Amino acid sequence: MKVTREERDYLKNQAKKYGLTLADYFLTVAREHDQNH
């Protein structure tokens, strides 16, 4: 999956907001995505 610089910065900011590392943030998103489907 190609992530642009803007997307990466956005994700970093989101992760910071939630106090997560980038990896934790992706795992959280994936888990929520699984629960919604």
pLDDT category, 1, cuts 50, 70, 90? low
Show the tokens assigned to 36: 């919604």
Cβ atoms of residues 29 and 36 within 8 Å? no
- From 33, 34, 36, 29, select the one nearest 11 (Cα to Cα): 29
pTM of the model: 0.41
- Identify which of 5, 3, 8 has the alpha carbon closest to the alpha carbon of residue 22: 8
Domain boundaries, the chain: 5-35
Q: How confident is residue 27, by pLDDT bands cut at 50, 70 and 90?
A: confident
Which run of H or of E encompasses 9? Answer: helix 5-18
Mean pLDDT of 14-22: 76
